[in-house]
Amino acid sequence: MSRRLRWFSAGTASAVAASLDIRQHGADAGELVQCDTGSEHEDNARFAAEVCAWLDVPMVTLKSDEYTDVRDVWERTGWISGPKGARCTGEMKLAPRLAYQRHDDVHVFGYTADAHDVERARLLRATYPELTVVTPLIERGITKAGCLAIMQTIGIKPPATYAMGFPNANCLDAGCAKAQSPSYWALYRHHFPDRFAETARIFRSKGVRAAIIGQEVVDGKRTNIRAFIDDLPADQSMLNPIAPTCDFLCHIAEQDLAA
């Protein structure tokens, strides 16, 4: 029988997705698995422990054998992010996953029904057609706001970074290498000034202008205008927290979990 790998990213979406899959297929059908990037916010461990207790399953933790954390990848490889994604994602998440998975595994991911996540799930399937990918939240039409509402009902406090305004909970020690929004980096600077300064130093040393601050037309082609994150103005707008919102699809999921 195929093993079901319920991938946990320390966020509410992956927790709800895992719970729905466990409810449908049973805990013994697979494992709850996380990739430790070495750059997680301190509160993520608390959230992971409470999710494991709620689901009554242990956590399998995978970690890179070569790199200690995200900044270690940046410094040693000189590669932050590009059109094909972030090097830290490949080294700290993808490589450990590929080493652990079997050819017949079923991969359960917490992609939500929000448009951005639907596109991410589509790209995952297109890039790795050999994988059997299951997305229970998309199938049920559950959004990020819905996942927050479900966790609120369950009684598990989401990771602290959600209340700060971040849309995700992982890699908040160094900041997300794939983030291009000035509002994201302004929020990161506001909450973690020392960590921001170190990330900004590395980005500048590698010539990485991560923040997209506008667009211009050059030779008839529209291109992004980029800036170093430590050049963003002090009054740069910041991201706002996602408010927990539970529509009827979310309520149906809550009933499934409570059954």
Q: What local confidence, expressed as pLDDT, does residue 252 receive?
A: 60
- How many other C-beta atoms can be found within 10 angstroms of the C-beta atom of residue 107? 20
Q: Which CATH number fits domain 4-167+242-258: 2.170.120.20, 3.40.50.620, 3.90.1150.10, 3.40.50.1820?
A: 3.40.50.620
Q: What is the pLDDT along the chain (259 residues), one digit of tens a residue?
A: 799 999 999 999 999 999 999 999 999 999 999 999 999 999 999 999 999 999 999 999 999 999 999 999 999 999 888 777 789 999 999 999 999 999 999 999 999 999 999 999 999 999 999 999 999 999 999 999 999 999 999 999 999 999 999 988 888 899 999 999 999 999 999 999 999 999 999 999 999 999 999 999 888 888 999 999 999 999 999 998 887 766 545 556 655 676 5
E-assigned strands of 162-244? 211-218, 221-227
Question: By C-alpha distance, which of 54, 69, 58, 168 is closest to 110?
Answer: 168
Domain boundaries, the chain: 4-167+242-258, 182-231
Task: Note the pTM of the prediction, 2 decimals.
Answer: 0.90
Helices 193-205 and 70-77, axial angle in degrees (round to 10): 20
- Whole-angstrom distance, CA of residue 224 vs CA of residue 216: 6
Q: What local confidence, expressed as pLDDT, does residue 244 receive?
A: 73
